[in-house]
């Protein structure tokens, strides 16, 4: 009996040791990965590149293409360690790491960036950009460069460009939304973002902040009636299984910032910096194109497979949404400042 107990104890200890070894190895990997750019004796610079999307998402695929492109064009003098799916922490943690220099590069959504750079709140001004082509023109033009320069000053990183997160659309399980009147009484999930919440509340619905990881269950159980995310994300997260209606009127064009820590940037030679910036430009074009393709493909699948009913408001109906959210602008001006809001509105008017 005693020997049997001893054998069981020894086995338990062995399993525990093995588990600790695996756990320690995993944790150790993450810890070392968060170091700033490393340069070996041959002048090869290794950079971490982090984001929150899955490897199979358009951002993950574009990042893999970027990695290959940089390594090829730099002839192996720049190496990229690609960390998708929050492997180096949440978006907020990655943005903080880039700002402090403990993580090299990040592709981060504007809602998170706004916590580090007040000027980025301007990207949440609703019903200004109705299609992605207009968004690309605005963020690639003088306004986008101006906003990027402000993020450098306020956030402490090196700005590289604006990729695309999504065109945020309302979808719900209750009814078709043609005008703001149709939103009355609906509980719409938002991020814990006071601007997003005000947009939803001003449209007559009830903004309900819920963690993204809990959203599917909240929709399934009726805790909320709807959500406001892009087409591709609505598809990839399976939300079309629990919502029935989508209104194709984007209230926000949501960009990603592409940024690198200043310390990491300065470790690159002028020639390497030129190559890296050129490859980021190609990455942005690639990621946007993949996102556009996904939106078309996934919307069609959701309509055919899930029976999702979509509606595109008329110009007169769209004007009602814009009028209902006119009081969001003063809030954004108080956060971002008049100068950048005026610059954004001017860029929209000229695009």
Q: What is the per-residue DSSP string for 254-305?
A: EEEEEEEEHHHHHTS-HHHHHHHHHHHHHHHHHHHHHHHHHHHHHHHHHHHH
Task: Answer yes or no: are the C-beta atoms of 179 and 214 closer than 8 Å.
Answer: no
List, in order, residues 6 or more apart from 318 with CB less than 8 Å away.
127, 130, 249
If 0-12 CB within 10 Å is exposed, 13-18 middle and 19+ buried, where does residue 48 land? buried
Average pLDDT over residues 17-43: 48
Q: Tell me the per-residue pLDDT of 79-106, one tens digit each, with 9 for 90 and over.
A: 999 999 999 998 999 999 999 999 999 9
Whole-number pLDDT of residue 56: 87
Q: Tell me the per-residue pLDDT of 152-174, one tens digit each, with 9 for 90 and over.
A: 999 999 999 999 999 999 999 99
Task: Answer yes or no: are the C-beta atoms of 246 and 171 closer than 8 Å.
Answer: yes
Q: What is the pTM of this model?
A: 0.86
Average pLDDT over residues 19-41: 47
Task: Answer yes or no: are the C-beta atoms of 301 and 236 closer than 8 Å.
Answer: no
Whole-number pLDDT of residue 17: 40
Average pLDDT over residues 293-303: 96
If 0-12 CB within 10 Å is exposed, 13-18 middle and 19+ buried, where does residue 160 land? buried
* Percent of the chain whose pLDDT exceeds 70: 89
Q: Which two tokens stand for residue 72?
A: 């090829």
Q: How far apart are CA 135 and CA 152, in angstroms?
A: 21
Q: What is the CA radius of gyration of the chain?
A: 23
Q: How far apart are CA 151 and CA 145, in angstroms?
A: 10
Q: Tell me the per-residue pLDDT of 119-136, one tens digit each, with 9 for 90 and over.
A: 999 999 999 999 999 999
Average pLDDT over residues 17-29: 38
Q: What is the DSSP string of 205-264?
A: SEEEE--GGGHHHHHHHTS-SEEEE-HHHHHHTTGGGT--EEEEEEEEEEEEEEEEEHHH
Task: Answer yes or no: are the C-beta atoms of 260 and 104 closer than 8 Å.
Answer: yes
List, in order, residues 6 or more apart from 21 with CB less than 8 Å away.
none
Whole-number pLDDT of residue 36: 61
From residue 267, give the alpha-carbon distance in Å to each of 43, 80, 244, 259: 10, 14, 51, 15
Q: How far apart are CA 128 and CA 213, in angstroms?
A: 29
Asked whether the predicted pLDDT for residue 10 surpasses 50, the reply is no
Q: Does residue 96 come out as left (phi exceeding 0), alpha (psi in the -120 to 50 range) or beta?
A: alpha
Whole-number pLDDT of residue 98: 98
Q: How far apart are CA 23 and CA 12, in angstroms?
A: 16
């Amino acid at each position: 009996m005693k020997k049997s107990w001893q054998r069981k104890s020894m086995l338990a200890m062995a399993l525990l040791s093995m588990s600790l070894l695996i756990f320690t190895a995993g944790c150790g990997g993450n810890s070392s990965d968060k170091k700033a750019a490393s340069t070996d004796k041959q002048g090869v610079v290794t950079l971490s590149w982090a984001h929150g999307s899955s490897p199979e998402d358009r951002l993950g695929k574009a990042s893999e293409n970027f990695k290959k492109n940089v390594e090829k064009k730099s002839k192996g003098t720049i190496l990229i360690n690609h960390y998708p799916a929050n492997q180096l922490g949440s978006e907020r943690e990655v943005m903080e790491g880039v700002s402090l220099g403990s993580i090299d590069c990040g592709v981060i959504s504007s809602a998170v960036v706004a916590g580090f750079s007040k000027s980025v709140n301007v990207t949440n001004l609703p019903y200004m950009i109705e299609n992605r082509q207009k968004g690309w023109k605005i963020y690639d033009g003088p306004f986008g460069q101006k906003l990027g320069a402000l993020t450098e000053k306020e956030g402490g990183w090196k700005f590289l460009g604006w990729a695309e997160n999504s065109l945020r659309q309302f979808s719900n399980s209750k009814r078709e939304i043609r005008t703001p009147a149709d939103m009355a009484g609906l509980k719409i999930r938002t991020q814990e973002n006071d601007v997003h919440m005000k947009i939803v509340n001003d449209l007559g619905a009830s903004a309900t902040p819920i963690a993204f990881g809990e959203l599917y269950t909240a929709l399934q159980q009726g805790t909320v009636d709807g959500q406001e995310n892009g087409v591709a994300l609505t598809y990839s997260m399976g939300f079309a299984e629990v919502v029935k209606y989508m209104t194709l009127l984007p209230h926000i064009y949501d960009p990603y910032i592409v940024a690198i820590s200043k310390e990491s940037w300065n470790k690159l030679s002028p020639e390497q910096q030129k190559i890296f910036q050129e490859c980021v430009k190609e990455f942005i074009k690639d990621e946007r194109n993949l996102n556009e393709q996904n939106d078309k493909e996934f919307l069609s699948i959701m309509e055919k497979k899930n029976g999702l009913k979509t509606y595109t408001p008329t110009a007169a109906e769209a004007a009602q949404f814009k009028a209902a959210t006119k009081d969001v602008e003063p809030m954004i001006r108080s956060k971002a400042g008049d100068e950048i809001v005026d610059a954004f509105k001017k860029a929209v008017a000229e695009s």
